[in-house]
Structure formats: C-alpha cells, structure tokens
Amino acid sequence: MARHGAFELAVPVSAVDHLTGSAHAPVTVVEYGDFECPNCKQAQSALKLLLERFDGRARLAFRNFPLEDVHPHALAAAEAAECAG
C-alpha cells in the first residue's frame, strides 16, 4: 500500500477547533460540517467508527461550515453550537 506524506493545513488545528480523541494522535481528520446538511449527518457514523477503530491513533477536529445558500438555519445552528461550547 502506498504511503502518502503529511501535509499542512492552511489553518492549522488549534484549541479553537472542536476536538475529539487523543491530543497525541498522529492523525487528525478535519471535518467541515453544516448542522442542516444530511450528508454531514450521514458521515457521523463513519467518523465515530473511525475514532473507535483507531483509538489513540486518530482524532477529529470539527469546523463549522454553514452552507447558507441551501440551509437557511445553518448559520444560526453553528452560532448556537459555538455558544454552547
């Protein structure tokens, strides 16, 4: 199996991201999500499985990406989630 090298995000993962998993995990998956998006909702079970299967070796960073053009309440949901912590 080919191994791909690491790459740097334009905006590195930091404490402002919503992080799940070990802080020392060698792999970080960054999800850009919209709370109204059915595809984002569907991806949650796969992400949960990934974190369980690679416990301690992978973590998840969630970033809000409200798609306001197609989801009229996405921005309000993202703001509410940020306020809730």
Helix (H, G, I), strand (E, B) or coil at 66: coil
6 found inside a domain: no
Within a domain: 7: no
Structure tokens at 2: 């080919």
Phi, psi of 69 (to 5 degrees): -65, -30
Provide the CATH number for the domain around residue 46.
3.40.30.10
Task: Specify whether the CB–CB gap between 77 and 62 falls below 8 A.
Answer: no
pLDDT in tens, 29-45: 999 999 999 999 999 99
pTM value is 0.83
pLDDT of residue 9: 75
Residue 13 lies in a domain: no
Give the pLDDT confidence score for residue 10 in this predicted structure. Answer: 79
Q: What is the mean pLDDT of the chain?
A: 92
Domain-located, residue 1: no
Q: Does some domain include residue 4?
A: no
User: Distance between CA atoms of 73 and 7, rounded to whole angstroms?
Assistant: 33
What's residue 85's pLDDT? 81
CB-count burial class (<10 Å; 0-12, 13-18, 19+) for 33: buried
Q: For residue 42, what is the DSSP state?
A: H
Answer yes or no: is 9 within a domain.
Answer: no
Structural domain count, the chain: 1
